[in-house]
């Protein structure tokens, strides 16, 4: 891969701009569509704006490389395809002459990388496919190396775990197609290189060694597990200030939710009490009338009981 090769260094316009055929503005600058042959024998055909390559264009290098895509003030910026002299090709996003954003790189040996880029290097989430074996790495990248959570997928099994400095490191597991998985971890082991001389110190080469653990049935990864992994990766990438701010925001949200729940519970407790009071107040006059009626009825019954029973004689006397 040509990361910083001379084939991408386009000719800056100096005092002598080379030959040009095309549109110009009122000041005589290259403006609009035109074709130029630069002093270093490179050629450009496309859009100009105030004397600079701006918009869609095709830049052909004398060594055979070429760029077909968007420009912004003389720099590759936007979507574009770069074909290198060795036959490798990049198709994707550019920012100020750098591979940045999402793009696909096809290498000479048949390998491909499709994913995120930053500062001309693989950075972020991406998939690298090895043409010779068919093995795939799907996971995180940092500065061109495998870094963070990832999966190394082989023909009949895959490794799921954490990568550090382009190597598997720490806890992980091997998942096999036969329906089981082996848990374990990669332990770093230092191997000293041969001494090159008295003046140069020998450097240690770190090689990961697999320490096998328990074999279990396959555990299917749920959405909750994926969310936890993404949160852990985001917290690792966050600065201490960003992490503290996010924690404060989460606390505020939790406090707000608890306060709302308390208010709702208090409202629910208060509502039935008010209804009971209203019912009592509405039923009080009815109960009083009922009590008065019962007392009058009792008095009548007492009067009837106290009066002697009337005989025929008493009735005759009353008639006389």
pLDDT in tens, 216-237: 998 776 666 656 665 665 555 5
In this predicted structure, what is the pLDDT of residue 248? Answer: 73
- Classified as helix, coil or strand, 25 is coil
In this predicted structure, what is the pLDDT of residue 150? Answer: 98
Residue 118: burial class (beta carbons within 10 Å; 0-12, 13-18, 19+):
middle
In this predicted structure, what is the pLDDT of residue 20? Answer: 96
Domain-located, residue 309: no
Q: What domain range is 44 assigned to?
A: 7-108
Q: Work out the widest C-alpha separation in the chain, in whole angstroms.
A: 159
Q: How confident is the model at residue 317 (pLDDT cuts 50, 70, 90)?
A: very low
In this predicted structure, what is the pLDDT of residue 180? Answer: 95
Q: How confident is the model at residue 186 (pLDDT cuts 50, 70, 90)?
A: very high
CATH number at residue 11: 2.20.110.10
**Average of per-residue pLDDT values in the chain:** 80
**pLDDT digits over 136-168, tens only?**
999 999 999 999 999 999 999 999 999 999 999
Percent share of the chain, pLDDT over 70? 61
Q: Does residue 21 surpass a pLDDT of 70?
A: yes
Residues 98 and 151 in one domain: no
Domain-located, residue 32: yes
In this predicted structure, what is the pLDDT of residue 69? Answer: 98
Does the CA dihedral 177-181-185-190 come out positive or negative? negative
Residues 172 and 210 in one domain: yes
Q: At a CB cut-off of 8 Å and minimum separation 6, what does 146 contact?
A: 137, 139, 140, 163, 166, 167
Decide: 151 and 158 in contact? Cβ < 8 Å. yes
Instruction: Provide the number of structural domains found in the chain.
Output: 2
**pLDDT digits over 247-304, tens only?**
677 666 666 666 677 667 676 666 555 455 445 545 555 555 556 566 655 555 555 5
Helices of type H across the chain: 223-237, 240-306, 312-319
| Rounded CA separation 92/112 (Å) | 13
Q: At a CB cut-off of 8 Å and minimum separation 6, what does 307 contact?
A: none
Please write down the HEC assignment for all residues of 43-60: EEEEEEECCEEEEEEEEE
Report the DSSP beta bridge partners of residue 212. 184
Q: Is 289 left (phi over 0), alpha (psi -120 to 50) or beta?
A: alpha
């Amino acid at each position: 891969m040509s990361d910083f090769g001379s084939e991408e260094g386009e000719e800056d316009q100096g005092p002598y701009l080379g030959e040009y055929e095309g549109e110009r503005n009122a000041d005589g600058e290259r403006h609009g569509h035109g074709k130029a042959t630069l002093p270093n024998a490179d050629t450009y055909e496309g859009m100009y704006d105030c004397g600079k390559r701006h918009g869609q264009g095709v830049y052909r290098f004398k060594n055979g490389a070429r760029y077909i895509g968007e420009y912004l003030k003389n720099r590759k910026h936007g979507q574009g395809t770069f074909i290198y002299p060795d036959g490798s090709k990049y198709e994707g996003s550019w920012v100020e002459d750098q591979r940045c954003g999402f793009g696909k790189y096809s290498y000479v040996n048949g390998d491909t990388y499709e994913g995120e880029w930053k500062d001309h290097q693989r950075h972020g989430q991406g998939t690298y496919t090895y043409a010779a074996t068919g093995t795939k790495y799907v996971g995180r990248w940092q500065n061109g190396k495998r870094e963070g959570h990832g999966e190394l997928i082989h023909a009949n099994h895959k490794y799921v775990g954490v990568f550090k400095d382009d190597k598997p490191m720490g806890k992980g597991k091997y998942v096999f197609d036969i329906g089981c998985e082996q848990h374990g971890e990669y332990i770093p082991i230092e191997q000293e290189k041969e001494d090159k001389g008295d003046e140069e110190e020998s450097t240690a080469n770190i090689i990961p060694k697999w320490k096998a653990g328990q074999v279990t049935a396959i555990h299917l990864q749920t959405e909750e597990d994926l969310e936890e992994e993404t949160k852990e990766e985001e917290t690792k990438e966050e600065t201490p200030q960003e992490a503290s701010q996010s924690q404060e925001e989460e606390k505020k949200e939790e406090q707000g939710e608890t306060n709302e729940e308390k208010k709702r519970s208090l409202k629910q407790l208060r509502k039935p009490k008010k209804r009971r009071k209203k019912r009592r107040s509405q039923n009080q006059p009815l109960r009083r009338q009922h009590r008065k009626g019962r007392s009058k009825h009792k008095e009548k019954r007492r009067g009837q009981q106290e009066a002697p029973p009337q005989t025929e004689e008493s009735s005759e006397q009353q008639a006389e």
